[in-house]
Structure 1
Amino acid sequence: MTLSKTTFPLMALLALSPIWPSAPWAQEAGAETATALPEMADIEQAWAQGNFVFARQGLKRRAEETGAALAQYRYGRVLLEGRGGPTDREAARLWLEKAAAQTHVEASVLLARIYLSAPEGDPVSQPARAARLFKSAAARGNSEAQYYLGLLYRSGVGVTAHPEEAFTWLLAASENGHIEAQFELSRAYARGEGIAEDAKQALRWMQEAADAGHGEAQFFLAYALDRGQGVEQNRRAAVDWLLRSAETGFGQAQLALGRKYLTGDGVAARPAEAQRWLEAAAAQGSAAAATVLGTALRGAHGVPADPALAVRWLKAASDAGVAEASFTLGQIREAGDAAAPDLQDAVVLYRLAVDQGSAVAEQHLGSLAATGALDGLLAPHRAIPWVVAAAEAGNPAAADWLSQQAAAGLRPAQTAFGLWLLTQEDRSGEISVQAADQFQAAAETGDVEAQHNLGRLYIQGQGVDQDYVMAHKWFNIAAAGGHRDALKMRGVVADLMTPEQVAKAQTAARGFVERPPAALSEETSEGISQ
């Protein structure tokens, strides 16, 4: 369990220990009068029988009339859990405070957890008070308090962060059999937090936690065995541990197990088992599992095709921001797997995948544009970045499309084609000349990126004769158009020039602006350096 600097989920904290001892009740309930104070054994028997109303009323009387710490603690828990009546968090806190004042360990621990579970800004949120309560209980050997105190020292919540103290308390809790502490102690050894890094001890405590049923520890132990990291590789044992982890409900293990059964990685391929575990992980909100499952449901790896279900899972993953899922949905719409083909819808999904970071989707859109499939759907200039991506991936049709659009005078295509040309092998220098021509054409019509790159070619003498005056001119014009790198480069090249050359370059820039192409803005004219 990872410590947050904001809140501890209250119900998760309450679930860590039962309200009653695990041993059977001591005796049967006896007869009682209406005014007799219920015995604790009677209350416990009523609780065991599900008579929470009697248990609540009896605990209230014993807490009020006897002042016993045990009754106060148990009554506080009943109020907190809402058994036998409504939940009353504030009253629960007050009764637990009474029990903690009598040094009741379990009350101190529960009270501390309440102070940590409150949202930041809530008056009940008292991390420092929680830390003091944990310290008191931890010193008396309570493993849960030791565990939480270790987390507090590690994160600096309620106390000053102290890795060594964190390690000490996690070790104490681990040696007392606290499973979560054992897992965190393993991580401390693996990362060298508060102690020298020790892979052997990290594995030992990971094994302890895994043996005790800790799902995440079982998952990481499976990972180590599968890859032979810090332990002798044993892929069969890895699958066994992965299965145990998945059965605890640990989503990452369910996803990993589903993938293994899907592809036969370290285990015999079992499509039905793969689908079962992937569905379990996806149902917990794993977008990665939903993506793998949706893709498999298109009929991959022996999983029976179910286009409608595939779309459902892929849509969930796409909505969660998974680019692969959005791209696959686009393929489904383009091919018409689940409905009539619809390229327009497919393009929307491909563009979403691009926005989510998919290079594959970008290249596919570029390939579609290069074949003319997007004609009429999008203006050519919108497709330029995608076509560039396809050309850079080695698609000759994409490079031809860029060349054609540039020749037709499409300014962004001229700049993009010039940049692409500069990435090609150029032993004769002819390609650089072509790139310079493309930049020149785009620069003359106001493209600031082309102007900037033309200036760079003039500095380097690449595709054109080296000419600092021309370089300064184009950097000056691009900088006036808002190109930040051009502004910096103008300063660099100015340092290499004489005052006379700088004046000549400025005159040339002003002359360009005085005869601006139709696309050149007034802001560019006003921004030329004087």
Structure 2
Amino acid sequence: MEHKLSEHSLPHEPLPRSPSIESSISQTKSLHIIDDEITRVKDDQELNEKVENLLKKKIQEGDKNALFQLAQFYFEQELYDHALVYFQRASDNGDYQAKYQLGIMYYDGLGGKEHHKKGFDNMFQVATATSNHVRHIIPCAQYNIGRAYFEGYGVKQSNDEAEKWWLLAADDGNPKASIKAQTALGMYYSREETLDLKKAFFWHSEATGNGSLESQGVLGVMYTTGQGCRQNSDSAFECLKEASLRGNIYAMGNLVTYYYGKKLYTKAAELALKVTQIEKIEDISKTTDCLPAFIAKGIALGYFYYARCLDLGQGVKQDNQLAKKYYSKAFEYDGATAQRLQNMVTHGKV
């Protein structure tokens, strides 16, 4: 299946954000825009120094919360070696948020070499915590534990354990649970090894209802093809259109497919051309929280269908030579998707 989950494709669940340390100290903001970049940088440096010095003073006065706050300040400044030291000190005092961040840092090698076992051990302590004041981060930690089991990082690979922890993190679709876990379960049940399309549809529906942009695009495809649900062209269009407007490139590529299948060639060509102009997949992934592999699939769809429009003169002026270049780019972005479409062309299905 095109929207299945593969090993080493999942992002971690970051610590739920609270207001930054800077915003809690800086009480007022200028009402005008400062155009002078040098002045802005100087102001930022002065604020950062003020924050750092204040938190260090609080630590000296015995404020245990300040240990985590300073560590988080360094983390947000990407001073990871400093952050690691203070997260460890806070963790030694029983701070579960610090343990969570240590798990992320060890897992991803921030502030030093990757140490997946240490990352797993710290995250596991959070995932199994019973304290009420950290319950808001427990589902996030449970998702990350599931990710570790699925990828086999820091622990022996186990699909069963991954599924168990993701189900805990997803909490029957609770909007306050881990939405990433809900999406991950949707993709997990789309894999050949763990195929259950009704479950996949259920979890993508839950995640979409809770705001998952990734799942909304997949849900549109499932409605289009009738995978795990009744085929519903109207629901497919609504999901794909809304997800596209929200920036889901995979949905945009599949919306091109939808338009082309309805013989709305001008719309298909216009949107396909827009998709072909998309670059910087990693940046888009960070902005939209969509997996790079699915962004690449969406771009490949755009290139292929624009090539097809050029090849046949559908919605655009016919240009066979230019079409060849676009076909080639489709294969560069995602060979499997492009080959699937090429096979459909060969059999007269596109």
Pair in the same fold by TM > 0.5: yes
User: What SS class does the counterpart of residue 195 from structure 1 fall into?
Assistant: coil
* Alpha-carbon distance, 1:106 to partner: 3.6
* Alpha-carbon distance, 1:334 to partner: 4.4
8 Å contact 2:55–2:66 — kept in the other structure?
Answer: yes
8 Å contact 2:253–2:300 — kept in the other structure?
Answer: no
- In 2, distance between residues paired with 1:327 and 1:90? 52
Residues 1:94 and 1:171: Cα distance change in structure 2 (over 3 Å) = same
8 Å contact 1:327–1:350 — kept in the other structure?
Answer: no
Q: Are residue 274 (structure 1) and residue 232 (structure 2) matched?
A: no
Residue in 1 aligned with 2:169?
A: 209
User: What SS class does the counterpart of residue 353 from structure 1 fall into?
Assistant: helix
- In 2, distance between residues paired with 1:185 and 1:361? 34
Correspondence list, 1:424-435, <5 A: none
Q: Are residue 166 (structure 1) and residue 119 (structure 2) matched?
A: yes
8 Å contact 1:239–1:267 — kept in the other structure?
Answer: yes
The unaligned stretches of length 5 or more in structure 2 are 1-9, 31-43, 130-134, 280-298
- In 2, distance between residues paired with 1:180 and 1:234? 24
Residue in 1 aligned with 2:197?
A: 235
Render the CA deviation track for 1:376-434: whole Å, top value 9, x for unaligned. Answer: xxxxxxxxxxxxxxxxx9xxxxxxxxxxxxxxxxxxxxxxxxxxxxxxxxxxxxxxxxx
Q: Which amino acid aligns with 2:267?
A: L
Q: Which amino acid aligns with 1:192?
A: G
User: What SS class does the counterpart of residue 297 from structure 1 fall into?
Assistant: helix
- In 2, distance between residues paired with 1:18 and 1:218? 26
* Alpha-carbon distance, 1:197 to partner: 3.0
- In 1, distance between residues paired with 2:217 and 2:66? 39
Q: Which amino acid aligns with 1:330?
A: A
8 Å contact 1:326–1:349 — kept in the other structure?
Answer: no
Residues 1:103 and 1:284: Cα distance change in structure 2 (over 3 Å) = farther
Aligned residues: 287
Residues 1:352 and 1:334: Cα distance change in structure 2 (over 3 Å) = closer
Kindly report the root-mean-square deviation, in angstroms, between the aligned alpha carbons of the 2 structures. 3.6
* Alpha-carbon distance, 1:333 to partner: 3.7
* Alpha-carbon distance, 1:234 to partner: 4.5
Residues 1:136 and 1:77: Cα distance change in structure 2 (over 3 Å) = farther
* Alpha-carbon distance, 1:228 to partner: 7.4
Residues 1:143 and 1:280: Cα distance change in structure 2 (over 3 Å) = farther
Greater RCO structure (CA 8 Å; 6+ sep):
2
Residues 1:136 and 1:263: Cα distance change in structure 2 (over 3 Å) = same
Residue in 2 aligned with 1:309?
A: 267
8 Å contact 1:214–1:245 — kept in the other structure?
Answer: no
Residues 1:355 and 1:196: Cα distance change in structure 2 (over 3 Å) = closer
State the percentage of identical aligned residues.
Answer: 22
Q: Are residue 146 (structure 1) and residue 99 (structure 2) matched?
A: yes
* Alpha-carbon distance, 1:170 to partner: 0.6
Render the CA deviation track for 1:186-208: whole Å, top value 9, x for unaligned. Answer: 12222332223343332221112
8 Å contact 1:323–1:356 — kept in the other structure?
Answer: yes
Render the CA deviation track for 1:75-127: whole Å, top value 9, x for unaligned. Answer: x5423xx5433584432333223223344344322322221222xxxxxx431
Residue in 2 aligned with 1:69?
A: none
* Alpha-carbon distance, 1:312 to partner: 3.1
Residue in 2 aligned with 1:354?
A: 328
The unaligned stretches of length 5 or more in structure 1 are 4-11, 20-72, 119-124, 365-392, 394-530
* Alpha-carbon distance, 1:221 to partner: 1.3
8 Å contact 1:180–1:214 — kept in the other structure?
Answer: yes
TM-score scaled by structure 2? 0.69
User: What SS class does the counterpart of residue 343 from structure 1 fall into?
Assistant: coil
Residue in 1 aligned with 2:51?
A: 92
Q: Which amino acid aligns with 2:183?
A: F
Correspondence list, 1:29-178, <5 A: 77-79=23-25, 82-85=26-29, 88-118=47-77, 125-176=78-129, 177=135, 178=137
**Higher Rg:** 1
